[in-house]
Amino acid sequence: MKLSRRSLIVRGTAATAAFAATQIFRPRRAKAQTGEVNLYSSRHYNTDDALYETFTDLTGIRVNLLEGKADELLARLETEGANSPADVFMTVDAGMLWRADQAGIFAPITSTVLTNNIPEYLRHPEGKWFGFSKRARVIMYNKDTVDPSELSTYEALADPRWRGEILIRSSSNIYNQSLVASLIEANGVEATEEWAEGFVRNFARPPEGNDRAQIEAVAAGLGSIAIANTYYLPRYLEDEDPAKQAIFEKIGVFFPNQEDRGTHVNISGAGVVSTAPNPDAAQQFLEYLSGPEAQEFFAKGNNEYPVDEDAELATAVASFGEFEDDSVNVSTYGENQAEAVQLMDRVGWE
């Protein structure tokens, strides 16, 4: 496993409120209620350091961070069992949160702060995990070759008009699995499989690379449409390389299904580990993530959509325009995940 262990420490004075030090986080079970929270996270964004730093500044509770891929962290939690030092497990897909719940990782918690701050469809029905930021999975198109008036829904991308034009990453990617799971929830298995057959026929190439690879391929003219999460696109505008900035200018963003159920959104979310040695600090940490300071970090630090609709968006994200998101409970992505994977395999989605 490639895991990164860090301890984020913040001093109590304004002069030293910035990130102060890094230490080795040794995988030991912490003593109960130590004034620390041990976070296992598959988020890998340096901007999150400020998120955790502010929590420590506000509460005096230190965040010990263990970073890694979601499936590796989940396997570690299962192996550690009752001896795990983890208080919070955070990941970037509702389907992965569902997997963790099925493995018995999370403890249900009751918090009026969380239920008031987070819309019902973005959290587990029984309070086992909560979404703290949204990721819209949209149609990105080459402005030189596609008129956005031609675009409408995810379902319409199976039309032969888009033969050889669509770029998307592989079926093993959990973002795509969750997208297909949402289509199953909306349209049923049979209709979704029929759609997927046409959709795959329209691929510009066999799936390869991450979301950024799809965006860059569209900008290079290898296809005219990519399916990608919105937060990747502003990174090109933020790059100092003019060639990267040109990619941002060449790509348009279209929010599908605005005339019916809304655009598919996924979440970055977290829950309290059932064996947490510091459950009170863990719950306080989750409540902080749903509050105004953290919501601004999610929005401006990583170009995500906050779950708090009053939080200000990053400028580049706001330029994409407003949209209605699909309000189906994101827990259905996990419930339909196995069927989605089997369906994608049957239609030859590599």
Could you report the per-residue pLDDT of 135-164, keeping only the tens digit for each? Answer: 999 999 999 999 999 999 999 999 999 999
Please give the Cα distance from 127 to 115 (Å, whole number). 9
- pLDDT above 70 (res 211): yes
pLDDT at 201: 98
Rounded to the nearest 5 percent, the helix, strand and coil shares of the chain are 45, 15, 40
Q: How wide is the angle at C-alpha 328 spanned by C-alphas 326 and 329, nearest 5°? A: 130
Q: How far, CA to CA in Å, does 197 sit from each of 166, 193, 311?
A: 13, 6, 40
Phi, psi of 151 (to 5 degrees): -95, 150
| Backbone dihedral region for residue 209 (phi beyond 0: left; psi -120 to 50: alpha; all else: beta) | left
CA torsion sign for 13, 19, 22, 25 is positive
Please give the Cα distance from 307 to 33 (Å, whole number). 29
- pLDDT above 70 (res 17): no
Cite the residue boundaries of each domain of the chain with CATH code 3.40.190.10.
4-134+267-313, 135-264+319-346
Amino acid identity of 213?
Answer: A
In DSSP notation, 232-247 reads GTHHHHHSS-HHHHHH
Residue the block writes with tokens 């601004």: 296
Please give the Cα distance from 278 to 272 (Å, whole number). 9
0.85 exceeded by the pTM? yes
- pLDDT above 50 (res 218): yes
- Superfamily of domain 4-134+267-313, CATH level 4: Periplasmic binding protein-like II (3.40.190.10)
- Superfamily of domain 135-264+319-346, CATH level 4: Periplasmic binding protein-like II (3.40.190.10)
Please give the Cα distance from 92 to 74 (Å, whole number). 13
Phi, psi of 227 (to 5 degrees): -105, 120
Report pLDDT digits (tens) over 263-285: 999 999 999 999 999 999 999 99
Report pLDDT digits (tens) over 91-110: 999 999 999 999 999 999 99
Q: Are 97 and 71 in contact (CB under 8 A)?
A: no
pLDDT at 12: 33
Report pLDDT digits (tens) over 62-90: 999 999 999 999 999 999 999 999 999 99
Instruction: Tell me the β-bridge partners of 133.
Output: 268, 306
| CA 176 remoteness from chain centre | 12
- Which tokens belong to 283? 């719950």
Q: Are 238 and 51 in contact (CB under 8 A)?
A: no
Where are the alpha helices (H) located in the chain, listed in sequence order? 48-59, 70-80, 94-102, 112-117, 174-187, 189-201, 211-219, 234-238, 242-250, 279-289, 292-296, 315-318, 331-335, 337-346
